[in-house]
Copies of this chain bind each other. A is one copy, B any other.
Amino acid sequence: MTARGTNPNFLNGVPELLILCLLADETMYGYEIVQAIRARTGSVVAVGEGVVYPVLHALEADGALRTKRKSVDGRSRIYYSLTAAGKRRLARLTNDWTSLAAAIRGVLKGGKDAQSFS
């Protein structure tokens, strides 16, 4: 959301990245995403609904997500899935994250002379 001038979105945007990633595998609804993040990260990341829903809405407004209402057991759910733009966004964020993680790993392990980036 809102590209920062210099650094590629690094420190934040983790919830957005995870959400896009989950939706790339299968369509899901908000409440389900909250549980899935907790489950798939072994509770290392535990974002609340107050984080997930606003991200979902912003991504939809940006054309990255498509929605479809469904009623299951009398419960109303809003299923989200990736659009083409969403897939591109996911690819970009994944790339950003990967290079960030590599850079930080380099500093972490780098006892002085550390140089191995593309």
Point out residues on A near B: beta carbons under 8 Å.
6-8, 10-14, 17-18, 21-22, 25, 37, 40-42, 44-47, 94, 97, 99-108, 110-112, 114, 117
- Contact (A45, B12) CB under 8 Å given A21-B108, A104-B97, A107-B18: no
Residues of B within 8 A of A97 (CB): 104, 108
Q: Check A107 against B21 for contact (C-beta < 8 Å).
A: yes
A30 CA / B94 CA spacing, docked (Å):
31
Q: Check A18 against B112 for contact (C-beta < 8 Å).
A: no
| Closest Cβ neighbor of A5 among chain B residues | B46
Residues of B within 8 A of A13 (CB): 11
A100 CA / B18 CA spacing, docked (Å):
12
